Amino acid sequence: MNSLHLKSFIRCKRKAWLDFKGKKSYEVWSPHKAIDKINQFQIFSEFCNSHIYTGLKACENGYQGVIGFKIKGNLFQDINAEIRPQLLVKTKGKSIWGQYKYLPAVYKLGHKTTKEHLFDLAFSSMLLESFQESKIEKGLVISSFSKKINLEEIYLNKKLRKKVLNVLLSLNECLEGFMPEITQDRKKCTICTWQKFCDKEAKENGYLTDIDGIGSKTASALIKNGISDTQTLASYNEKQLGEKLSKFNDKKYEKATAFVKQAQAYTSGEPYRISNKNDTKDLLEKTSSGFYIFDIESNPDDKHDFLYGFLKINHWFTKKENLIYEPILNLKNNKEESYRKIVEILFSQKEWPVLHYGETEKIAIINIAKNLNFSFEEIDALASRFIDLHTFMRKSWILPLKNYGLKTVSNWLGFEWMQKNVSGSKALYWWIQYQITENEIFLKKIIQYNKDDCLATLQIAEYLIKNQSKKN
């Protein structure tokens, strides 16, 4: 077992097992992991003033920062372990290399220092201490906020070390045993490299957490009441279920209906129309003389939207080839220029609504309008043109899907992205690559991806319009 297994184990036991014994062909490349690695390297490099080198030789030469160094050793005599410290930082002391020693350091993305960081540091210190023949009292957590490096010192006391040893023992037991169950908290799965593999098994076994709105706590409550899979839930009496869902108080019957209907849609593969109000008619009227589809690509850690994409639609059901798509890049030094272009597009057709999927787009435009000192009335008027199709879809349909994300819904409608295995995180990965290399090919990929996102949103809008009169 190694540091990476420990990190996975803290998140999900099954992930640690799969990382160790799983069939690699079932694992999917993760842009999150790649982005994390790039950020990590940049921050470490800045922290060490670029004096960062690789492997054992770097320690022997006494360089300030050392990466890519692995140390093997034994825990409790008979357990083989390997540490892979993210970074070793030179400090005062005495070790096998001379009048200095190294401390382990980890990189932190958010504000919170978690068990993952503490355990990684404590585990690293255990084998590093005997390797460099020098005691390690503390480890470092390095992060960066608003372009400033932050350093936190973590004292690796006895209590923490003991805790980690216990976790390592459980990890060892887990790796030697059978594959653990899929985690109850499926939120953890969204950025996991084994998601596809686990999703398939969850669907086959009718996991309740596959049903939109059912998290680990609701799933446990349902299981306690004898509803253990999606099929059972789908055939359950809504009123009786409502009585069992007391934790939702006044909303219990509403929730029960939603869960049963969602389970019915999911197991049968058939969508269910919730409302037959005039909502879609209203959408059709508003868009009859034309509309925009709008989608942005962002770097949430940097709070930076790097691409705004507009698709101009004069008439419904126009051939895709005849639509005009306009990408506006927001390179860091030309913010004003991109804002000017956005305003120009939005006000070239003052009455047109702007269709988007999810709340981010509207928030971004309101922020731009504030930045440009628009009056309250102007901001209100602009915001009222935005129609969120994600909310719209959820209000009008129950779909036979696990979630209502843009990719999931449009894939179900048969939409295909020009580039394979893409996602918002992949676009972010390309953006980071572009910033490092300045190779325009990455911009082209991002623009193609965003154009496809706009077209996927359009396909969802067309579905809503085409099926407006359907009844259940």
CB-based contacts of 179, cutoff 8 Å, min separation 6: 14, 17, 18, 21, 22
CB nearer ligand SF4, residue 219 or residue 241: 219
CB nearer ligand SF4, residue 143 or residue 183: 183
Chain-centroid distance of CA 12 in Å reads 16
Tell me the closest approach of the beta carbon of residue 27 to ligand SF4, in angstroms. 10
Taking the CB of residue 39, how many other CB atoms lie within 10 A of it? 16
Tell me the closest approach of the beta carbon of residue 25 to ligand SF4, in angstroms. 15
Tell me the closest approach of the beta carbon of residue 243 to ligand SF4, in angstroms. 31
Tell me the closest approach of the beta carbon of residue 466 to ligand SF4, in angstroms. 35
Give me the residues that bind ligand SF4 (CB under 6 A), please.
12, 14-15, 18, 182-183, 188-189, 192, 194-195, 198
CB nearer ligand SF4, residue 362 or residue 402: 402
Taking the CB of residue 371, how many other CB atoms lie within 10 A of it? 11
351 CB burial (10 A radius; 0-12, 13-18, 19+): exposed
Tell me the closest approach of the beta carbon of residue 198 to ligand SF4, in angstroms. 3
Helix (H, G, I), strand (E, B) or coil at 420: coil
CB nearer ligand SF4, residue 201 or residue 378: 201
Tell me the closest approach of the beta carbon of residue 192 to ligand SF4, in angstroms. 3
CB-based contacts of 387, cutoff 8 Å, min separation 6: 283, 286, 353, 354, 355, 356
Beta strands in 226-301 (DSSP E): 272-273, 291-299
Tell me the closest approach of the beta carbon of residue 12 to ligand SF4, in angstroms. 3
CB nearer ligand SF4, residue 7 or residue 14: 14
* Residues written for the chain: 472
CB nearer ligand SF4, residue 14 or residue 108: 14
CB nearer ligand SF4, residue 198 or residue 456: 198
Task: Enter the tokens of residue 149.
Answer: 């490096």
Cα torsion 224, 229, 230, 235: sign: negative
CB nearer ligand SF4, residue 10 or residue 422: 10
Tell me the closest approach of the beta carbon of residue 189 to ligand SF4, in angstroms. 3
8 Å CB contact between 73 and 131: yes
Distance CA 231, CA 234 (A): 5
Distance CA 85, CA 421 (A): 31
Tell me the closest approach of the beta carbon of residue 404 to ligand SF4, in angstroms. 19
Single-letter code of the amino acid located at 185: D
8 Å CB contact between 152 and 110: no
C-alpha radius of gyration, the chain, whole number: 26
Helix axes 424-437, 31-47, angle to 10 degrees: 40
Beta strands in 406-454 (DSSP E): none
CB nearer ligand SF4, residue 10 or residue 387: 10
